[in-house]
């Protein structure tokens, strides 16, 4: 599995929204214990805007194709604010894109600053996901 994992890390190195990493639990026992790792290898993943308590265990294949598919299906942003109708945005995201475009650049920057300040705050998982989606949309619109 290690060669496949290393290849996946190289593929996503420098990616703006996906970070693939690894931890040697023999060297970082406290971190691994804190993350609930009990056996090796253990793969956990997070999506944008969720905390460590919301880590999901990866149960799929351990070859490069299976790992790559998991990243593409579960970790890459789906909504493109520049093309909300054609990029997999849900109805809530489409409405939010339209609303923020109508408000204009200054409002987008102000809202982005406000929402980024909320990241890391305690909130329910679904609220964290919606917060992360809005931040992603606003960053795309501000670019």
Name the pLDDT band for 122 (thresholds 50, 70, 90): confident
What's the CATH code of the domain at 9? Answer: 3.40.30.10
Domain count for the chain, please give it: 2
Enter the tokens of residue 64.
């490069």
Enter the tokens of residue 107.
């409002």
Enter the tokens of residue 8.
């996946």
Domain that holds residue 37: 2-74
pLDDT in tens, 43-97: 998 886 677 778 888 999 999 999 988 988 888 777 889 899 887 788 999 999 9
Name the pLDDT band for 103 (thresholds 50, 70, 90): very high
Residue 96 domain-assigned? yes
Against a cut of 0.75, is the pTM above it? no
Sign of the CA dihedral with 23 first, then 24, 28, and 34 last: positive
Residues 13 and 55 in one domain: yes
Residue 43 domain-assigned? yes
* Own/partner long-range contacts of 46-49 (Cβ < 8 Å, ≥24 apart): 47/74, 47/75, 47/129, 47/132, 48/17, 48/77, 48/129, 48/132, 48/135, 48/136, 49/119, 49/128, 49/129, 49/131, 49/132, 49/133, 49/135
Name the pLDDT band for 104 (thresholds 50, 70, 90): very high
Residues 8 and 67 in one domain: yes
pLDDT in the model for residue 112: 96
Q: How many CA atoms lie within 13 A of 115 on its CB side?
A: 20
Measured distance CA(50)–CA(55) in Å, rounded: 8
Residue 81 domain-assigned? no
Q: Measure CA 55 to chain center.
A: 11
Helix 125-142 to helix 105-118 angle (10° resolution) is 150
Residues 30 and 70 in one domain: yes
Confirm if 111 and 138 have CB atoms less than 8 A apart.
yes
Residue 137 domain-assigned? yes
């Amino acid at each position: 599995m290690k060669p496949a994992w290393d290849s996946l890390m190289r593929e996503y190195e420098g990616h703006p929204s996906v970070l693939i990493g690894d931890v040697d639990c023999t060297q970082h026992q406290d971190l691994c214990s804190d993350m609930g790792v009990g056996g090796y290898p253990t793969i956990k993943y997070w999506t944008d805007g969720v905390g460590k308590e919301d880590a999901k265990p990866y149960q799929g294949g351990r070859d490069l194709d299976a790992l790559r598919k998991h990243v593409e299906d579960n970790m890459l942003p789906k909504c493109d604010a520049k093309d909300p109708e054609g990029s997999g945005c849900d109805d809530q995201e489409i409405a939010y894109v339209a609303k923020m475009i109508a408000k204009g650049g200054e409002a987008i920057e102000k809202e982005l600053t406000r929402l980024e300040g909320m990241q890391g705050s305690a909130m329910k998982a679904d609220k964290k996901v919606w917060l992360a989606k809005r931040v992603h949309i606003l960053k795309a619109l501000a670019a």
